[in-house]
Amino acid sequence: MGRLGFLNASGDISSLKNSQTFRFIVLEKPRNDYAKITINRPEVMNALNMDTRREIMKALDIVENEDDEARAVVLTGAGEKAFSAGADISMFKEMTPFLAKEYLKIAKGAAKRIFDFPKPVIAAVNGYAIGGGLELAMACDMIIASKNAKFGQGEINIGIIPGVGGTQRLPRILGLHKAKELIFTGELINAEDALKLGLVNSVVEQSELMKSVEELISKISSKSPLILRLAKEALNRSASGLEESLDFESVLFQFCFASEDQKEGARAFLEKRKPVFRGK
C-alpha cells in the first residue's frame, strides 16, 4: 500500500511517526492509486479553521514525499451535509486587518498548495461548498458533486468579500457577470445549475459519489504521471495573471476588517440574526 503513514484499505496503520498527528482531517489510502483527505469537522459543517488548512497542507506533503503509488488525491468532507461550509466565522469576530493578513497566509497557502500540487486533486463535494469551502474546491483540478450539493460565495452576508480566491477563480470559471451575481447576492446554486455553468465536472447520486470519483481516477491512473504533471503545469499557466489578482484580492479582504459592517456581520452570524449594515 505504499509508504504513507495513515489508514490504508485494510485498516492498518504504518509506523510513521506522523501517522496520528491530525485533529481535523483524516488521511487515508482507500486504493493503491489515490489518497483521500477528508475534512473531519461534521459537527460544524466541516468549517475551515487555521489548523484544518495547515493539516491539509501537511497531508499533501506526505502524499507527495512519501508515496510513489498515489496518482491522484481526493478532497472531501465528512458526513453527507457538507464538503465545507466555509471559514470558521468565530475567527472573524475580533479580526483586524493585520490578523486578516496572517489568516490569508495560511488560507491562501492551502489553496495554492492544492492548485500547484504535482498530481491531480479532485474535490468530491458531498453537500454544501460555501465561501472558503467553494474556494478550496475551485483550487482543485476537478469537482465531482452529489445531487444534494450546493455552492455559493456567501461572504457578503457577513460583511466581507471572498478572500481566498473567490473573486478571481469564480469569474474565470463562470464568467464575470454570473460571478458578480453570486458574490453580490450571496445566494446559493444547486448541483445541476453548477453543472450547467461549468463549475463542476459531473453530478451523481450521493451514494455513487466516491464510485464515480474512483472511476475517474482509474482513467487518470492509466496515464503517464510525468505527462500528467506537465499537463497540469501547462493548464495552470493558462491562468496567467492569477497571482497578481489574488494579491489584490488580499488587500481588499484585509480592508474589510477595518469596517464596522464586518464586525456586525460576524456578530449577527454567530448570534443567528439578520445583520444591520450601515456602510461604515
Q: End-to-end CA distance of the chain, in Å?
A: 56
Q: Which of 28, 55, 155, 214 is catalytic?
A: 155
- Residue-wise pLDDT tens digits, 124-182: 999 999 999 999 999 999 999 999 999 999 999 999 999 999 999 999 999 999 999 99
Grid coordinates of 24? 481535523
Q: Which helix (H) or strand (E) holds 151?
A: strand 150-152
Residue 275 lies in a domain: no
pLDDT classification of 276: cutoffs 50, 70, 90: confident
pLDDT at 185 over 80: yes
Residue 27 domain-assigned (yes or no):
yes
- Give me the domain span that covers residue 256: 7-270
**DSSP secondary structure code for residue 22 in this structure:** -
Quote the CA–CA distance of 12 and 4 in Å, as a whole number.
Answer: 11
Is residue 142 a part of any domain in this protein?
A: yes
Task: Write out the DSSP string of 127-141.
Answer: SEEETHHHHHHHTSS
Residue 119 lies in a domain: yes
Residue 276 resides in a domain: no
> Rounded distance, CA 92 to CA 262, Å?
8
Instruction: Please give the model's pTM, rounded to 2 decimal places.
Output: 0.86
Under the banding of pLDDT at 50, 70 and 90, the label for residue 1 is very low
Is 28 a catalytic site residue? no
Residue 62 pLDDT: 96
pLDDT at residue 12 is higher than 80:
no
Grid cell 501517522 in the structure block, residue: 19
Name residues whose C-beta falls within 8 Å of residue 1's C-beta, 6 or more positions apart in sequence. 8, 9, 10, 12, 29, 32, 69
Is the pLDDT at 16 greater than 60, yes or no? no
- With respect to residue 16, please indicate whether it lies within any of the assigned structural domains: yes
- DSSP reduced 3-state for 12: coil
Helix and strand tally (H, E) in the chain? 10, 11
Output the CA torsion sign for 52, 204, 230, 115: negative
Q: Would you say residue 159 lies in a domain?
A: yes
pLDDT tens per residue, range 76-100 = 999 999 999 988 888 888 889 999 8
Question: What's the pLDDT at 21?
Answer: 78
The total domain count for the chain is 1
- 195, 145 contact by CB (below 8 A): yes
Catalytic residue, candidates 28, 55, 135, 214: 135
Cα gap 143→204, rounded to integer Å: 11
| Residue 278 included in any domain | no
Q: Are strands 202-204 and 142-146 parallel, antiparallel or unpaired?
A: parallel
All residues at 6 or more sequence positions from 108 whose CB lies less than 8 Å from its CB, including other chains:
164, 165, 246, 250
260 is catalytic: no
User: Which domain CATH number covers 120?
Assistant: 3.90.226.10
pLDDT digit string, tens, across residues 192-238: 999 999 999 999 999 999 999 999 999 999 998 999 999 999 999 88
